A and B are shown apart, each in its own frame.
Chain A
Amino acid sequence: DAKTTQPPSMDCAEGRAANLPCNHSTISGNEYVYWYRQIHSQGPQYIIHGLKNNETNEMASLIITEDRKSSTLILPHATLRDTAVYYCIVGGGANNLFFGTGTRLTVIP
């Protein structure tokens, strides 16, 4: 079921930008890229999603390559509270969110 590939872990210094990569080379034309995160002992939290264009909201920016085979989630100024597991998910429907193993981001003081 895995449609995405993410590094298992990353570190980022507090205050710096965190850039989390995701490969989704088999993405189909009508599938979106979603990012969620899960802070320890909490339920997953929606961050952002996109189809073709780059997207930005109050939490993060999503950069999708022109061929749509990869994307990067950017947390512009990481804080300690951003330490979490980040899931990159590709899907096009309600039952199509396969969470995988994600990237464990640790923000270092």
Chain B
Amino acid sequence: DAGVIQSPRHEVTEMGQEVTLRCKPISGHNSLFWYRQTMMRGLELLIYFNNNVPIDDSGMPEDRFSAKMPNASFSTLKIQPSEPRDSAVYFCASGSGRPDTQYFGPGTRLTVL
């Protein structure tokens, strides 16, 4: 199994631009999570899906952030417009069953100039 796949691995963009991060979960997993990690705030859960349905998006910072999961094998996290304070490493994780154990991807390092 290839594990959770994220793309791109690195993204540098300018303030105001739209950014789309992509995630392919492990096949057969029915839960998908998006996290953000910064030095100041650590690892924060942004949103999680169960069976492709968003269950809890209370961690999404503001309306500039949106996430979709059109099918069981793909999810996107979009930031529009991006701001310098969005600079962070964004992780996608997938899991299945109870209790949930989560398997993380390698992350996307986003830099907004």
- A binding-site residues for B, Cβ under 8 Å: 32, 34, 36, 42-46, 49, 51, 91-95, 97-101
* Cross-chain contact B106 with A49 (CB below 8 angstroms): no
- B binding-site residues for A, Cβ under 8 Å: 4, 31, 33, 42-43, 45, 48, 50, 55-56, 91, 93, 95, 98-107
Q: Which residues of B contact A46 (CB under 8 A)?
A: 101-103
* Cross-chain contact A100 with B42 (CB below 8 angstroms): yes
Q: Which of A43, A94, A98, A99 contacts B100 (CB 8 A)?
A: A94
Q: What 8 A-B pairs are tightest by C-beta distance, nearest first?
A: A43-B104, A99-B43, A94-B100, A32-B99, A95-B56, A46-B101, A44-B104, A43-B91
Q: Which residues of A contact B107 (CB under 8 A)?
A: 42-43
* Cross-chain contact B101 with A94 (CB below 8 angstroms): no
Q: Which residues of B contact A32 (CB under 8 A)?
A: 99
Give the CA-CA distance A43 to B55 in the complex, in Å.
Answer: 23
* Cross-chain contact A34 with B101 (CB below 8 angstroms): yes
Give the CA-CA distance A91 to B31 in the complex, in Å.
Answer: 16
* Cross-chain contact B42 with A101 (CB below 8 angstroms): yes
Least distance between B3 CB and chain A CB atoms (Å): 9
Residue in chain A with minimal CB distance to B50: A94
* Cross-chain contact B91 with A99 (CB below 8 angstroms): no
Give the CA-CA distance A100 to B98 in the complex, in Å.
Answer: 22
